[in-house]
A = this chain, B = another copy of it.
């Protein structure tokens, strides 16, 4: 674990009436301002690591970058919290379009994606990938082992790209959206295939997460946490197998359960 992602602070720890001053470790939170073709786009608050992956993953999730070929340059100034991305076809990206997207849907507090063109245009995931319950539990154990910053601070979300056997790409961030965007940014920049693979996340599954996953054509989404009804509906519509509350020996399979190989059906 890089020191950069955590900070030491003094804390007064009370247990019942008895207290002592100790040094504790918390997750760091830093701003990242993304410039796309010299236009300031957004400032995210994030864990100060892999900022280039975050910038690219964010732009991909927002539909502002479609492929690696479009990316001409990624410059990250980590100390100043700035990422500058240059893409091909910058002229085609009218100011108004960017503004409109960010106001109606880019705001991570919520988006109206599912009612917008994004969903209607989203192709169903047709991958034939299957996974056994045992493989799910093995991956989740591995995922929890990887989650160093969470274990130290309790203050971050984790995400991972896997095949059915092991974790291929892993990241953590104070934001659950950021953690997934970092994964996809790394996949895009390092040409790591996502088709037919799986995503594991520590976070709750809302509609926005489902759309991110569908955009990368991933057939299976696994979470330690709960989904929303809209998350379940989108998973169903988009052909994604959604697993929630994967804890201990338990799995909730919400949608497209034909991808789960299990004798106890």
Complex contact B17–A264 (CB within 8 A): yes
Chain B residues with CB under 8 A of A32: 110
Interface status of A52 (Cβ within 8 A of chain B)? no
Chain B residues with CB under 8 A of A31: 110, 112, 114-115
How far does the Cβ of A31 sit from chain B's closest Cβ, in whole Å?
A: 5
Complex contact B109–A14 (CB within 8 A): no
CB contact list, A200-214 vs B, under 8 A: 204, 206-208
Interface status of A230 (Cβ within 8 A of chain B)? yes
How far does the Cβ of A50 sit from chain B's closest Cβ, in whole Å?
A: 15
Chain B residues with CB under 8 A of A177: 109
Interface status of A73 (Cβ within 8 A of chain B)? no
With a 10 A CB-CB cut-off, give which of A115, A208, A265 has the most chain B CB atoms: A265
Interface status of A138 (Cβ within 8 A of chain B)? no
Q: Given that A29-B206, A253-B12 are contacting pairs, would A263 and B17 also be in contact in the complex, using a CB cutoff of 8 Å?
A: yes
CB contact list, A77-122 vs B, under 8 A: 99, 102-112, 114-115
Cα–Cα distance between A204 and B47 once the two chains are bound (Å) = 14
CB contact list, A159-211 vs B, under 8 A: 174-175, 177-178, 204, 206-208
Report which A residues bind B (CB closer than 8 A): 7, 9, 11-19, 24, 26-33, 40-46, 99, 102-112, 114-115, 133, 153-155, 174-175, 177-178, 204, 206-208, 225-232, 245, 249-254, 257, 260, 262-265
Besides A9-B229, A43-B111, 13 other A-B contacts (C-beta < 8 A): A11-B252, A11-B253, A14-B251, A14-B252, A16-B133, A16-B249, A16-B264, A27-B226, A28-B230, A32-B110, A43-B107, A45-B208, A107-B109
